[in-house]
């Protein structure tokens, strides 16, 4: 029995940095080359042995549900042609995974979106992927690395990376005690601190493993920065009990919630794909 069975995808945000593209289309459906961001996320969860995909959507996000479903007309149209292979990855996912959805009616922040996901994940530890953080690795995918770590530490885990000190205001930032190489026991965390107030330059990125007590903590945590329910504030309560590990993952993250990060990810991935074609 795998320890983590479900992965939650908070995908209800407005994606305002991508307007007008995200006016009628979910940010999570923006493609890196030909595959939407959310599919990369689902593939990462699946690679970590997780088959239950729990997606928190919102208004205007129906394309996500359609993406992980059969499109009879389209599939009939390309049946027998070489284009069929372009859908094989999506079909494989649909065969192996179950998808459940719920809607966040009011966008009150990431902590709130995770709380809305409680109905889908139940009372067990679960993973969280923010699909707009697109991660690439040479070996194990980031979530696989984290699931392995969970087996050892059995507490909440956040993925971190070093960011330039001047950019701390864009992230949740941790302070912690080094436990072993690349692994910190978190003692403090601050949401979007000004560089001069940041306890370190170790920033939380969009991969988490959370223990289910987080739901009660979120419920009892007042809104934080920008009046939103911040997951960082809830995690701080767990950290104060010594129950949060921060993990400097192996790999590279692209912030595809920003236009520059999205373009970098596209160029990187297209470069890799053309390299592979060249090798054949
Ligand atoms: P972001 O702040 O990066 O996403 O939230 P956003 O609000 O969609 O983007 P901009 O700033 O307007 O361009 C991080 C993640 O949390 C989800 C988002 O969908 C994204 O995956 N989120 C955020 C929710 O699901 N609900 C919320 O209320 C807020």
CATH number at residue 11: 3.90.550.10
Please indicate, yes or no, if residue 107 is contained in any of the structural domains. Answer: yes
15-48 pLDDT, tens per residue? Answer: 999 999 999 999 999 999 999 999 999 999 999 9
Q: Residue 250 domain-assigned?
A: yes
Ligand 1 proximal residues by C-beta, below 6 Å? 10-17, 27, 56, 104, 107-110, 112-113, 130, 132, 257
Q: State the SS3 of 138-191.
A: CCCCHHHHHHHHHHHHCCEEEEEEECCHHHHHHCEEEEEEEEECCEEEEEEEEE
**In whole angstroms, how large is the CA radius of gyration of the chain?**
19
Which pLDDT tens digit goes with each residue over 165-178?
999 999 999 999 99
Q: Is 239 left (phi over 0), alpha (psi -120 to 50) or beta?
A: alpha
Mean pLDDT for all residues in the chain: 95
Residue 180: which domain range?
Answer: 6-279
Number of structural domains the chain divides into: 1
Q: For residue 9, give the ligand 1 atom closest to its CA.
A: 21
| Angstrom distance (rounded) from CA 58 to CA 68 | 16
For residue 1, being part of any structural domain is answered with no
Is residue 127, in this structure, part of any structural domain at all? yes
Asked whether residue 167 is assigned to any structural domain, the reply reads yes
> For residue 133, which of 5, 46, 2, 11 has the smallest C-alpha distance?
11
The answer to whether residue 77 sits within a structural domain is yes
């Amino acid at each position: 029995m795998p320890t983590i069975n479900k992965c939650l995808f908070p995908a209800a945000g407005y994606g305002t940095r991508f307007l007008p593209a995200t006016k009628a289309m979910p940010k999570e459906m923006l493609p890196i080359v030909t595959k939407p961001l959310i599919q990369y996320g689902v593939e990462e969860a699946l690679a970590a042995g997780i088959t239950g995909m729990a997606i928190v959507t919102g208004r205007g996000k129906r394309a996500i549900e359609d993406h992980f479903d059969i499109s009879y007309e389209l599939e009939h149209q390309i049946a027998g042609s070489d284009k069929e292979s372009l859908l094989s990855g999506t079909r494989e996912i649909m065969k192996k995974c179950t998808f459940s959805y719920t809607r966040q009616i009011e966008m009150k922040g990431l902590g709130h979106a995770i709380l809305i996901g409680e109905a889908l994940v139940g009372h067990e530890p679960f993973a969280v992927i923010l699909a707009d953080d697109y991660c690439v690795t040479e070996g194990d995918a980031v979530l696989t690395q984290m699931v392995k770590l969970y087996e050892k530490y059995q507490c909440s885990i956040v993925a971190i990376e070093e960011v330039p000190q001047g950019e701390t205001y864009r992230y949740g930032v941790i302070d912690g005690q080094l436990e072993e190489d690349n692994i910190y026991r978190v003692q403090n965390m601050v949401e979007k601190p000004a560089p001069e107030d940041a306890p370190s330059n170790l920033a939380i990125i969009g991969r988490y493993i959370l223990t289910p007590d987080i739901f009660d903590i979120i419920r009892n945590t007042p809104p934080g920065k920008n009046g939103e329910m911040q997951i960082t504030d809830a995690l701080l309560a767990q950290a104060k009990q010594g129950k949060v590990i921060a993990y400097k993952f192996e790999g590279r993250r692209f912030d595809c919630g920003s236009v520059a990060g999205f373009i970098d990810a596209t160029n990187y991935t297209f470069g890799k794909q053309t390299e592979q074609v060249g090798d054949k």
